[in-house]
Amino acid sequence: QLALVQFFTWFALFSMWIYTTPAVTSHIYGTSDTSSALYNEGANWVGVLFGIYNGFSAVVAFLLPVIARYTSRKWTHAIALVIGGISFLSFRFIQSPNLLILPMLGIGFAWASILSMPYAILTGSLPSNKMGTYMGIFNFFIVIPQILAASILGFFMRKYFDGQAIYALIAGGISMMIAAFSVFIVNDVDSHLAQKKGQQLKIPFIFGKRT
C-alpha cells in the first residue's frame, strides 16, 4: 500500500531535482542558453530555492508530530503531499523569480513529511525480526520511480511538449497529487492502536536521510 505512495512521490521529486533549473531559466528567465549570464543567474537562484526548501523542511519536521497527534499520520502525510503537489503545479503560473519562494516552502513542507511519515507508518506494522528485509524492499520504491522518470520524462518532454521543462514539473505535481490520494488506501495499524489507547503518536525523525 505504501509502495504506491512512495512510487508517485519519488517520481515527482526526481522531476524537481533534474528539471527545476531548465524549467525556471526557460519559463521565467526566458533563456535556454547555458552559456548566457541570464541562464546562470536563474541557475544560481534555483540553488538558493533548493536551500530554502531544505531549511524550511527542518523547521516543519518539528511540527509534524503535533499535526499527527490531532489528526493522524495518514492525514498529515496526505496534506503535506497535496501542498507539495500544488506547489509543483504553481510553477507554471509564476512569472517572478522571488515568488518561487512560496512553492518551495510548500515543497519543503512535503519533504519533511516524506522523510518521516512513511517510515513511521511502515515500522508500526512490521514484525521486528523482519524489519530490515521489509525496509530494503520498501526502498525499491524510492529507486524504481527515479529510474523510470529518468527514462521517460525527457522523451515525453521532447515529443509532446517541445522540450519545455516546465511540463516535467507539472508531471511531478500530478504525480505527487496521486501520491497524496493514495495515502488513504494505506492501513496505518500502529496509528489506530495509539489513538484507541489515547497515546501520543511517535514519529521517527530521520531528516536528511534519503533511504
* 4 close to 142: Cβ distance less than 8 angstroms: no
| Residue 210 within a domain | no
Average pLDDT in the 63-71 region?
A: 92
Q: Is the pLDDT of residue 198 over 80?
A: no
Coil vs helix vs strand at 110? helix
* 8 close to 176: Cβ distance less than 8 angstroms: yes
Q: Tell me the residue type at 124.
A: G
Task: Please provide residue 123's backbone torsions phi and psi, each rounded to the nearest 5 degrees.
Answer: -65, -25
| Residue 58 within a domain | yes
Q: Is the pLDDT of residue 29 over 60?
A: yes
| Residue 88 within a domain | yes
Percent of the chain beyond pLDDT 90?
59
Q: What is the pTM of this model?
A: 0.84
Confidence at residue 163, expressed as pLDDT on a 0 to 100 scale: 86
Which stretch of 12-21, 33-42, 115-124, 159-168 has the lowest confidence by average pLDDT? 115-124
Confidence at residue 211, expressed as pLDDT on a 0 to 100 scale: 39
Confidence at residue 127, expressed as pLDDT on a 0 to 100 scale: 64
Q: Which residue is it, cell 519533511? A: 112
Whole-number Cα distances in Å, 7 to 17, 31, 146: 16, 32, 9
| Residue 208 within a domain | no
Which stretch of 36-45, 75-84, 143-152, 196-205 has the lowest confidence by average pLDDT? 196-205
- Cα distance between residue 206 and residue 106, in whole Å: 19
Count Cβ neighbours within 10 Å for each residue of 139-148 and write b for 16 or more, e otherwise. eebbeebbee
Confidence at residue 186, expressed as pLDDT on a 0 to 100 scale: 81
Coil vs helix vs strand at 1? coil
Average pLDDT in the 167-172 region?
A: 95
Q: Is the pLDDT of residue 202 over 60?
A: no
- If one compares 56 and 131, the residue with the highest pLDDT of the two is 56
Q: Which domain holds residue 22?
A: 2-197
Alpha helices in 61-130 (DSSP H): 64-70, 73-90, 101-114, 117-123
| Residue 202 within a domain | no
- Cα distance between residue 49 and residue 185, in whole Å: 33
Q: Is the pLDDT of residue 48 over 60?
A: yes
**Digit-coded pLDDT (tens) for 109-118:** 999 999 989 8
Average pLDDT in the 22-41 region?
A: 93
> How many domains does the chain divide into?
1
| Residue 127 within a domain | yes
> Domain with 138 in it: what CATH number?
1.20.1250.20
| Residue 185 within a domain | yes
| Residue 203 within a domain | no
With the CA atoms of 34, 86, 155 and 13 taken in that order, what torsion angle do they form, in degrees rounded to the nearest 10? 80
Which stretch of 87-96, 101-110, 117-126, 176-185 has the lowest confidence by average pLDDT? 117-126
User: All 3 cell numbers of residue 188?
Assistant: 496505518
